[in-house]
């Protein structure tokens, strides 16, 4: 079990995925890991189908997401974050890039706006690949999921998506 404010983010019962192709990949990761909660898709212009409804904004969601994956353009991330804060969401992963990691003034400004909009919301990012929680079968992760739910183990936190992917796909000497 995860303690405190991070629990809703890292062990969510409801998930919102914002964006296009990268959010599609995160949806596939949710299915691959066996996520059992609700998954809501958010995109301003994608058409809904009977199999896959899309909501135009965070405000239109049928409930409050515990965890949100933001794979929208960086310029849209602060507004999405503000909407999450207004709804008292659990937290988010900001996969979007183009923030202070660019070294540009615009990126630093956007990073400040993102942090300001988040307020007390816990978040990973920006420019973050996300997380995989095998124990609770939750993943806000835009890539393949390999591995199975362990009975026990340790948590691994990586700053680098490349290192995380290497460890995920490396089965040598790992339980």
How does DSSP assign the chain, residue by residue? Answer: ---TTHHHHHS-SEEEEEESHHHHHHHHHHHHHT--SEEEEE-SSPPP-SS--EESSGGGSSS--SEEEEES-GGGHHHHHHHHHHTT---EEE----SGGG-SHHHHHHHHHHHHHHTT--EE-SS---EEETTTTEEE-SS-------SS------S-HHHHHHHHH--TT--
Which parts of the chain register pLDDT below 50? 1-2
Calculate ∠ Cα 57-75-84, nearest 5°: 40
| Alpha-carbon gap, residue 97 to 164, rounded angstroms | 18
Q: What is the pLDDT of residue 118?
A: 98
Domain-by-domain residue ranges, the chain?
A: 6-169
Backbone conformation region of residue 4, classed left if phi is above 0, alpha if psi is from -120 to 50, else beta: left
Q: What is the pLDDT of residue 141?
A: 87
Q: What is the pLDDT of residue 55?
A: 98
Q: Which CATH superfamily is domain 6-169 in?
A: NAD(P)-binding Rossmann-like Domain (3.40.50.720)
Please state the separation of Cα 112 from the chain's center in Å: 19
CB contact at 8 A, 100 and 67:
no
Q: What is the pLDDT of residue 1?
A: 41
pTM of the predicted model, to two decimals? 0.88
């Amino acid at each position: 079990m995860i303690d405190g404010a991070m629990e809703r983010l890292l062990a969510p019962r409801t998930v919102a995925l914002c964006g296009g192709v990268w959010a599609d990949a995160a949806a596939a990761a949710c299915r691959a890991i066996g996520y059992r909660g609700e998954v809501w898709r958010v995109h301003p212009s994608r058409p809904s189908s009977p199999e896959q409804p899309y909501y135009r904004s965070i405000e239109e969601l049928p409930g409050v997401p515990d965890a949100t994956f933001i794979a929208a353009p960086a310029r849209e991330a602060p507004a999405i974050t503000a909407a999450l804060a207004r709804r008292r969401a659990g937290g988010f992963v900001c996969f979007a890039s183009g923030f202070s990691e660019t070294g540009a003034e615009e990126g630093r400004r956007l990073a400040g706006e993102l942090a300001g909009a988040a307020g007390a919301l816990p978040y990973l990012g920006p420019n973050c690949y996300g997380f995989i929680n095998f124990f609770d079968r939750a993943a806000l992760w835009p890539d393949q999921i390999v591995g199975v739910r362990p009975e026990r183990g340790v948590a691994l936190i990586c700053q680098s998506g490349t290192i995380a992917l290497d460890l995920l796909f490396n089965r040598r000497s790992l339980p």
